Chain A
């Protein structure tokens, strides 16, 4: 009796192992190779990360992945100061504190995971709001705390959000124009042409791709 049950258990385990191996071949080798073959043939750019190049042909990153636009790190600074000539992405000051994200350095993605009543998060949001108001107020243009949209003071789920809201982009126009010596209306126009509306009018949210916008801005300055 014991002997039969042992041998029947061994038999069904053997069948399980053979099933696993053959299905691994199908689902773990043939399937991903087939998808990769089609992807690399039909959608080569997208399958490889949607790289974008500037007018000089230099790769500047991916249209899907956010970046930081900072000044070189000065002595005594822990984090570099933002380079206010460029449109700034969503904040990342809270990311990295739980070892889960590296502040737009792509190697590790993730969120702060702080709750709405978390003291640290409240502190980061307040600090981000104050910084947005201060950085974006120019001699001729004052930004009020009430003008600051939520995405400007919170970090994203991936920590790599390539977008900001049109409201946050518009809020930065005066500062960017001043720092680059450009006409405000020209920069405003640039933001408008780089605003993506909801797909089909209802899918997703209106947004501005920061890298594409800054690339166009740099081209505008060079022209």
Chain B
């Protein structure tokens, strides 16, 4: 069998697995977020928090919950790293410097998991397992909560109430993420991912001498790292490390975990707004982009254009033998079209166009299918924009899901889509204009520019993957990337929740013959077109200077 055909079959298996889980998981999540019942352990948790889970919140209160919870999360994670040197179970690693600790804390709370540290050389068991991995759960649960609040905004009328943040946070964690991560972790251990609490210890080698092994709760972190679209590796090599991703089965399973919740949430959405077809239209737009990107990536990586790859006879630099071109390409697309940023192969050593595809995937706003929660709300914002554009074409006040898309709604949606491009292009321009940031580049020319563009794209879109030649552990990058991650995560959430509030207050508009049908393939096509045009107009000049220049030169 040719590697290309094997790749197509792997993609097919992935589609089948996602299709099988779509309905049960999507419906389950709809029940989780709609149910009035509280389980006993949840009641204990609410008592500790001091929150009444049945109390409805309007959007400012919901937002205050999100921001307060995230702020204390950043602070605690920062402090844990700052005192690591004095904590037990830290493998002898010292405390993390202030700028890097800020960067890492911002990164994990913002669901980004950009890492300017080397996992196995910097973070002990307590920080990894009790700090970083915890945020892998909680930042994902926050993303889902905000998405569900927006869905409620569409589903509810004449109330302004969006649900209870604490209840959504706890349920997302306890009822959705924990059980799936638990099963996922066991599967990964069965494949060979490690799960122990050993210290750094010596193991004999073939020709004599020893290797130094890190122990760690790797499988349990790996499972939630993919499931929560986080991406922060236990080891520096991330999911390329054999202890994180031991074989082709674990590889496909990890890609499955990355895509599982973001796709299934479109079913949850359809269920909660009372029309499964509306969910299918969103799903269709996501799936078309994901499949298109996967096909393009496999094509360019198998074609291996680029001087070094042509001499080598294949683009295997930075890729593992057990995954090959296909298993690496599928992972790279899944991780950059979601907010994951885990890597099983190093994007900096992809072909020029391949690197461009990873960049473009993030620049679409990570909505196909996007991060856990953030993918759905990002896509719904684009859906609002698409409805607006269609409304302009026919000269009618646009509506979506029975809600008028008026001035305020479009203002909020427009603010949302401006945040990340402003951060990406603004910071990249400043970094290129200053004399020192460019010293961090490993490669020169177009690829060097791509390293910096990639870093800010990854940070502002909360992805976390890198063209890792860039030495990002400098005060400049730690600080500016940290700021980009926080603003790129929480500013859009402000606009999403404000939009949700304004929608929930409206009374429903009756559907008429003139209403644009948003549950049809035609609309899904319009949505895809809107996304590509907006992203293209925004980023084309920057992409032309980086990956396009590199790809066309080879």
Interface residues of A (CB under 8 A from B): 9, 12-24, 26-29, 31-32, 34-36, 38-40, 42-43, 46-51, 58-62, 64-65, 67-70, 83, 86, 90, 98, 100, 105-118, 121-122, 125-126, 129, 148-151, 153-165, 198-199, 201-205, 207, 211, 214-215, 218
User: Which of chain A's residues have a CB closer than 8 A to the CB of B76?
Assistant: 17, 20
Q: Which of B173, B200, B323, B345 contacts A26 (CB 8 A)?
A: B173
CB pair B138 A23 closer than 8 Å: yes
Instruction: Choose among A16, A86, A118, A207 the residue that contacts B71 (Cβ–Cβ < 8 A).
Output: A16
Closest CB of chain A to B342's CB: distance in Å?
12
Q: For chain B, give the interface size range.
A: 35 or more
For B447, the closest partner residue in chain A by CB is: A115
B254, CB-defined interface residue at 8 Å: no
CB of B209 to closest CB in A, whole Å = 9
CB of A49 within 8 A of CB of B243, answer: yes
Taking the closest CB of chain B, its distance from the CB of A207, in whole angstroms, is: 5
Query: Across the interface, do A43 and B189 meet the contact criterion of CB distance under 8 Å?
Result: yes
Structural contact, B129 and A32, CB atoms closer than 8 A: yes
Question: Quick check: B206 and A214 within 8 Å, CB to CB?
Answer: yes
B206 touches which of A16, A100, A215 (Cβ 8 Å): A215
**B285 contacts chain A at the CB level, 8 A cutoff:** no
A163 touches B322 (CB 8 A): yes
Whether the pair A114, B206 counts as a contact (CB closer than 8 A) is no
Task: Say whether A107 contacts B212, CB under 8 Å.
Answer: yes
Q: Which of A62, A109, A115, A205 has a CB less than 8 Å from the CB of B324?
A: A205
Binary A-proximity of B160-198 (CB < 8 A = 1, otherwise 0): 000000100110011000100110011001111111111
- Identify B322's interface contact among A14, A20, A122, A207, CB under 8 A: A207
Residues from chain B with a CB closer than 8 A to the CB of A86 are 206-207
Contact status A15-B315, CB under 8 Å: no
Contact A28 B307 (CB under 8 A): no
Bound-state Cα–Cα, A68 to B212, Å: 14
For residue B468, CB closer than 8 A to chain A, the reply is yes
**Which A residues are CB-close (under 8 A) to B425?**
none
- Since A111-B237, A157-B319, A205-B6 are in contact, a sample of 12 more A-B pairs with Cβ atoms closer than 8 Å, ordered by chain A residue number, is A16-B71, A17-B72, A18-B48, A23-B170, A27-B133, A40-B196, A113-B348, A115-B308, A117-B554, A122-B311, A125-B317, A204-B247
Interface string of B366-409 (1 = CB under 8 A from A): 00000000000000000000000000000000000000000000
Interface string of B236-271 (1 = CB under 8 A from A): 110011110011110110000000000000000000
Interface: B442 (CB within 8 A): yes
Q: By the criterion CB–CB under 8 Å, are A116 and B306 in contact?
A: yes
**Is B59 an interface position by the 8 A CB rule?**
no
Q: Could you tell me the distance in whole angstroms from the C-beta of B326 to the nearest C-beta in chain A?
A: 8
**What's the least CB distance linking B177 to chain A, in Å?**
8
CA distance A136 to B550 in the complex (A): 35
Complex CA distance for A191 and B131, rounded to whole angstroms:
45
Assess the B72–A13 pair: CB atoms within 8 A: yes
A193 CA to B178 CA, complexed, in Å: 41
- List A contacts of B243 (CB < 8 A): 49, 64-65
8 Å CB interface, B75-128 against A: 76, 118, 120-121
Q: Which of A18, A59, A61 contacts B50 (CB 8 A)?
A: A18
A28 touches B314 (CB 8 A): no
Q: Tell me if B443 is interfacial: C-beta within 8 Å of chain A.
A: yes
A residues in contact with B554, CB < 8 Å? 116-117
Query: Which residues of B are found within 8 Å of A49, using beta-carbon distances?
Result: 194, 196, 203, 213, 243
Number of A-B contacts (CB under 8 A): 372
Expressed in whole angstroms, the Cα–Cα distance for A107 and B236 within the complex equals 10
Residues of chain B within 8 A of A154, CB atoms compared: 312, 314, 316-319
User: B interface, by DSSP: helix, strand, loop or mixed?
Assistant: helix
19 pairs, CB–CB < 8 Å, chain A vs chain B = A16-B70, A16-B71, A20-B138, A24-B130, A27-B224, A43-B189, A49-B196, A61-B206, A106-B213, A106-B214, A110-B236, A114-B349, A153-B312, A153-B313, A156-B318, A158-B241, A161-B242, A162-B242, A218-B206
Contact A115 to B240, CB < 8 A, known contacts A32-B220, A105-B211, A151-B321: no
**Contact A118 to B1, CB < 8 A, known contacts A199-B247, A215-B206:** no
Is B65 touching A23 in the complex (CB atoms < 8 A)? Answer: no
- Establish whether residues B219 and A35, one from each chain, have CB atoms under 8 Å apart when the complex forms: yes
| Among B130, B219, B308, contact of A28 (Cβ-Cβ < 8 Å) | B130
By a CB distance below 8 angstroms, the chain A residues around B322 are 161, 163, 204-205, 207
> Which residues in B have their C-beta under 8 angstroms from that of A148?
313
By the criterion CB–CB under 8 Å, are B130 and A47 in contact?
A: no
Chain A residues with Cβ below 8 Å from B178 are: 26-27, 31
Q: Are B249's CB and A199's CB within 8 A? A: yes
Q: Which of A31, A108, A153 contacts B220 (CB 8 A)?
A: A31
A202 lies within 8 A of B204 (CB): no
Residue on B with the closest CB to A62? B203
A201 touches B1 (CB 8 A): yes
Minimal beta-carbon separation of B52 from chain A (angstroms): 11
Q: A12-B64, A202-B6, A203-B10 are in contact. Are A109 and B312 (CB under 8 A)?
A: no
Report the minimal beta-carbon distance from A28 to chain B, rounded to whole angstroms.
4
A113 and B220 form a contact (CB under 8 A): no
Known pairs A15-B49, A27-B178, A156-B240; A39 contacts B219 (CB<8 A) = yes
The 8 Å CB contact of A122, one of B129, B308, B348, is B308
In Å, the complex CA distance between A83 and B345 comes to 28
A24 in contact with B134 (CB, 8 Å): yes
- Tell me if B469 is interfacial: C-beta within 8 Å of chain A: yes
Whether A28 lies near B211 (C-beta < 8 A) is no
B376 to chain A, nearest CB (A): 22
Q: Which residues of B contact A58 (CB under 8 A)?
A: 204
Does the CB pair A161–B206 fall under 8 Å?
Answer: no
- Is B519 engaged at the interface, CB distance under 8 Å to the other chain? no
Contact of B550 with A117 in the complex, beta carbons under 8 Å: yes
B255: shortest Cβ distance to chain A, in Å? 11
Q: With both chains docked as a complex, state the minimum distance between the C-beta of B350 and any C-beta of chain A, in angstroms.
A: 8
A150 B237 Cβ-Cβ under 8 A: no
| Minimum C-beta distance from B268 to chain A (A) | 22
Chain A residues positioned under 8 Å from B315 (CB to CB): 116, 150
Task: Please state if B447 and A118 are interface contacts (CB–CB under 8 Å).
Answer: yes
Query: Is B422 positioned at the interface, with any CB of A under 8 Å from its CB?
Result: no
CA distance A27 to B45 in the complex (A): 13
Residues of A within 8 A of B206 (CB): 60-61, 67, 69, 86, 211, 214-215, 218
- 4 nearest A-B residue pairs (beta carbon): A116-B306, A204-B248, A150-B314, A157-B240
A165: chain B residues at CB < 8 Å are 321
Q: Is the CB of B308 within 8 A of A31?
A: no
Whether A203 and B248, one on each chain, are in contact in the complex, defined by CB atoms closer than 8 angstroms, is: yes
Which residues of B sit under 8 angstroms from A34, Cβ to Cβ? Answer: 182
A157 to B231, CA, bound (A): 16
